[in-house]
Amino acid sequence: MDRRTVAAAVGVGLALNNRPGGADWTQAFEALGLAMPELSAVQVTGWDPVASRYAVIAEQGYPSGVSADLTGMPGTLWGQLLRHSDRPLLMDDEGLGFRASPHYRDWLAPAGYDDGLGACLRDEAGRPAGFVQMSAGSPAAFGEAARAFVAEVALFLVPHVDPCLSPHVDAAYGPDWAGNRIAPDGRVLPLRARPDGPAAEDPGLRSLAVRFAALREPRLEFLWPVGGRWHQAVLLAAGRSRYAGAALLTRAYANDSGLTAREVDVLTAIAAGHANPVIAERLTIGRRTVETYVERLLAKLDCSSRSELAAVAARNGLVRPRPGSGDLGDLASFTRTASRRRHVSAT
């Protein structure tokens, strides 16, 4: 890199990292312009685990319609191409065909953009964390030098798009929630500014998190026993890729309803759609005993019907899922697909 490009890279790093007031994106984008003088617009997106979609982290220059289209690009063919590429892609890279895409034809070209560059932002483990899109109003504005520069400065962008460090997660789950990131291979990783949760000492909880990530579901709330008492737990997808893993957050549960372990088992089975005879057989208890548990649960949770009981349990995370396929509380029973299937069968 020449002296100007090095200065631009340093400027991006200084603007985004180790600043008391947080990242200064305006300054960062100005620094990008030093290395790429024809840069007209830039957008940085990251996975929002709470909303379960990609969201704009920072942008400059794009009209609202173009911005919205680019925000949705990660879920399209061109988003997949970026995700699977080990380097930034230029609009006119051979075989890409981006000018024939609806992104260019319907949005970028009418807005006056005639060249572009995109990259998938990856963390240190190579997991996709977000995307950056750049556009220019003149043709051939970006070339190999721009590609190499963006590959270098992408490292400065990654900490700000890491799904597990999303400000939306911090807003939804306060400091009383412990947390870890669970890698797809079961490794337990720390989450910034949060104490470690119980996953490191609980292989069952790790297995549940790994299976959750493999199912590629966005979110699951549930109960988990820790040290003889219930804890609330939340699993959040750390991205759309199968390599992303999951964020696991936990905190002590007050259990104001006084739910026992067996009652949670029965409630889990009801929420999963099992009938009393199946519950009795799988828990090796009598059918009348199951009926008694159901009556107690209706009273404790102030529900008037079994269907309401199932809805309350699923909505409030009063279930204890299991990682094993075919278990009474099989995690797959609480996925969106399973929920839709139960809804259709009930109508």
The whole-number pLDDT of residue 293 equals 96
Q: Which CATH superfamily is domain 3-161 in?
A: GAF domain (3.30.450.40)
Give the CA angle between residues 246, 251, 252 to the nearest 5°: 145
Tokens coding 317: 């995370």
> Which residues neighbour 308 within 8 Å (Cβ) at sequence distance 6 or greater?
none
Contact assessment for residue 131 and residue 122, using Cβ atoms and an 8 Å cutoff:
no
The answer to whether the 3-161 and 165-346 domains have the same CATH topology is: no
Contact assessment for residue 238 and residue 165, using Cβ atoms and an 8 Å cutoff:
no
Q: Which residues of the chain have pLDDT under 50?
A: 337-347
3 state SS of 284: coil
Find tokens 């230029």 and name the residue.
90
The whole-number pLDDT of residue 152 equals 93
Q: Where are the domains of the chain?
A: 3-161, 165-346
C-alpha 299/C-alpha 309 separation (Å) is 10
C-alpha 157/C-alpha 123 separation (Å) is 10
Query: Is the pTM here over 0.85, yes or no?
Result: no
Amino acid at 90: L
CATH second-level architecture of 165-346?
A: Orthogonal Bundle (1.10)
User: Three-state SS string across 101-144, please?
Assistant: CHHHHHHHCCCCCCEEEEEEEECCCCCEEEEEEEEECCCCCCCH
C-alpha 39/C-alpha 50 separation (Å) is 32
Tokens coding 237: 């997808």
Helix (H) or strand (E) holding 14: helix 3-16
Tens digits of residue pLDDT in 256-302 = 999 999 999 999 999 999 999 999 999 999 999 999 999 999 999 99
